[in-house]
């Protein structure tokens, strides 16, 4: 029994903890402003709020299970940032802001880096990933690692998005039985639930864009090669880092920090679209059966509305064809072959090169999984298939040389022909596939909700290194619509559960891949 609450001591502290409201769905900008105003908000209080939400919401009965672990050094790091601020040293926009990392980013502290696999839990990494170092230099506080589709969905031929042997199943906080998408599932859900304003993910093809879309947050996938993958457990040469945020400005500031520039916020203006030529792919024509699906119905409706918003904000809209028209079935097959060959090389190299891991090869990893397989867990047939591949570096290079130009041409040709600044599609067009396969950037932008409480999204994309333009376009749309919504944690499954989203699903897309 708890006695009367006194004015001081542990009871007063308990009262403060119970009565102070959580930070909710604040962006990094709002957090930064509140810390600067010295009104009682500190990095330490923000981190404590993150931890409280993780404990009571994320790990609650109806939470999304976004986090695979929390950082035991986060409060110490937050106090250090607060002390710097007190002394007049503010590193910038992200100073003291809590963030989360997908479980593939190496950190030198006491957290694991395991890609969601129990087999890789052992001695922690001895360094920080390069982009993590840059974010720490900007003043962020890492509160934890997020769950993901184990081994970036390269374990099973029938993968389960958001599931890992280490972290269990991550759920969509808008509708708990809805698609959560992968493989950066936990990072998207952590931001959607408001536990952190920024989380990092990694994408081969769809792993940032699709979780952002299905969980109703902004997802920015960067151009291949823009950011260093040093210290990141990647799956292929096409892997690239992305961000999840609840507003565009936070995504731009995070990219500024990771690139150590200021270029990505310069174009965030309300008039940024005036005179810009934006190519748009056809509005989907739904059959009577397709129109019964709330997701497809809302995807089409919100796309039409989004085009009107872009036009009203000064954009010159230019119709273009369907991207798939320039990509034949053989190219998709070649992409599969190139990708799986790369996966074996990258995973083998990582396992052999990182100190302290319990397994040092794919063969050892597969053997561990066999020994520890639990009832109901996915198989590892895809991992076994990948392990059996034998390709040389020269063969892998030739495979990629054959397919990359096809996907790049599908975007480059309309961009050049129509002198476009960017392109836009409805999310369910799956055009993010071509964009990712080309190595080009893309951005998932919340556009509303369907009739069953699942988010819809707009997909913005363009040529290589066009992130600044995409951020500007997304910013204008965001300011005009404010379409992002807080999750309702609704029970049940939608009308038609979305197909599995997997980095390994590289066949001709018929749905979400």
**Active-site amino acid positions:** 102, 183, 207
**Whole-angstrom Cα distance, residue 323 to residue 257?**
33
Q: What is the DSSP secondary structure assignment for residue 264, as one 8-state letter?
A: T
Residues 6+ apart with CB under 8 A from 40: none
Pairing of strands 422-426, 316-319: unpaired
**H/E stretch holding 449:** strand 442-449
- The CA distances from residue 209 to 86, 408, 501, in Å, are 38, 18, 10
Structure tokens at 97: 């802001």
Structure tokens at 495: 């009308």
> Beta-carbon neighbour count of residue 495 at 10 Å?
14
Question: What is the phi/psi pair of residue 146, to 5°?
Answer: -105, 150
**Whole-angstrom Cα distance, residue 347 to residue 361?**
8
Helices of type H across 153-292:
185-192, 209-215, 248-259
SS (H, E, C) 300-354: HHHHHHHHHHHHHCCCEEEECCCHHHHCCHHHHHHHHHHHHHHHHHHHHHHHHHC
In whole angstroms, how large is the CA radius of gyration of the chain?
A: 22
Residues in the chain: 513
> Beta-carbon neighbour count of residue 305 at 10 Å?
15
**Whole-angstrom Cα distance, residue 205 to residue 503?**
5
Helices of type H across 388-439:
393-417, 431-438
Identify which of 32, 29, 34, 5 has the alpha carbon closest to the alpha carbon of residue 18.
5
> Beta-carbon neighbour count of residue 265 at 10 Å?
19
Which residue is listed with tokens 């759920």?
171
- The CA distances from residue 80 to 31, 134, 139, 395, in Å, are 17, 17, 10, 50
Q: Does 479 sit behind a cis peptide bond, omega within 30 degrees of 0 on the bond before it?
A: no
């Amino acid at each position: 029994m708890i006695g009367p609450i006194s004015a001081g001591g542990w009871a007063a502290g308990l009262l403060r903890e119970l009565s102070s409201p959580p930070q909710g769905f604040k962006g990094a900008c709002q957090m930064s402003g509140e810390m600067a105003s010295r009104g009682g908000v500190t990095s330490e209080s923000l981190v404590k709020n993150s931890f409280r939400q993780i404990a009571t919401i994320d790990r609650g009965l109806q939470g999304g299970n976004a986090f695979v672990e929390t950082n035991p050094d986060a409060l110490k790091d937050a106090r250090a940032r607060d002390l710097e601020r007190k002394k007049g040293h503010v590193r910038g926009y992200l100073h003291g802001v809590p963030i989360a990392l997908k479980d593939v980013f190496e950190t030198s502290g006491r957290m694991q880096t395991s890609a969601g696999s129990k087999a890789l839990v052992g001695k922690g990494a001895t360094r920080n990933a390069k982009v993590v170092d840059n974010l720490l230099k900007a003043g962020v506080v890492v509160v934890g690692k997020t769950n993901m589709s184990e081994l970036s969905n390269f374990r099973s031929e029938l993968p389960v998005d958001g599931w890992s042997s280490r972290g269990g199943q991550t759920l969509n906080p808008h509708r708990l039985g809805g698609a959560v998408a992968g493989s950066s599932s936990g990072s998207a859900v952590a931001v959607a639930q408001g536990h952190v304003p920024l989380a990092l993910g990694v994408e081969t093809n769809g792993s940032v864009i699709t979780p952002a879309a299905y969980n109703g947050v902004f997802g920015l996938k960067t151009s291949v090669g823009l950011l260093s993958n040093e210290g990141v457990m990647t799956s292929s040469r096409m892997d690239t880092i992305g961000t999840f945020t609840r507003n565009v400005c936070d995504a731009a500031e995070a990219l500024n920090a990771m690139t150590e520039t200021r270029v990505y916020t310069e174009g965030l203006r309300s008039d940024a679209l005036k005179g810009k030529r934006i190519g748009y792919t056809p509005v989907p024509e739904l059959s009577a059966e397709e129109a019964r699906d709330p997701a497809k119905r809302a995807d089409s409706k919100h796309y039409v509305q989004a085009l009107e918003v872009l036009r009203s904000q000064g954009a010159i809209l230019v119709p273009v064809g369907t991207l798939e028209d320039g990509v034949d079935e053989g190219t998709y097959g070649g992409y599969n072959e190139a990708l799986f060959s790369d996966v074996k090389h990258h995973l083998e190299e990582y396992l052999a090169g990182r100190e302290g891991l319990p397994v040092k090869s794919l063969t050892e990893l597969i053997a561990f999984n066999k020994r520890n397989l639990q009832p109901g867990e996915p198989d590892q047939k895809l991992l076994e298939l990948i392990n059996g591949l034998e390709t040389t570096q020269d063969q892998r290079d030739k495979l990629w040389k054959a397919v990359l130009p096809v996907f790049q041409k599908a975007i480059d040709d309309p961009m050049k022909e129509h002198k476009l600044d960017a392109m836009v599609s409805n999310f369910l067009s799956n055009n993010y596939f071509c964009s990712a396969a080309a190595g080009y950037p893309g951005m998932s932008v919340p556009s509303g909700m369907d009739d069953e409480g699942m988010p819809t999204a707009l997909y913005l994309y363009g040529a290589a290194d066009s992130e600044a333009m995409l951020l500007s376009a997304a910013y204008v749309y965001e300011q005009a619509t404010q379409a992002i919504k807080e999750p309702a944690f609704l029970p049940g499954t939608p009308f038609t559960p979305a197909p599995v989203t997997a980095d390994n699903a590289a066949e001709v897309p018929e749905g979400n891949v």
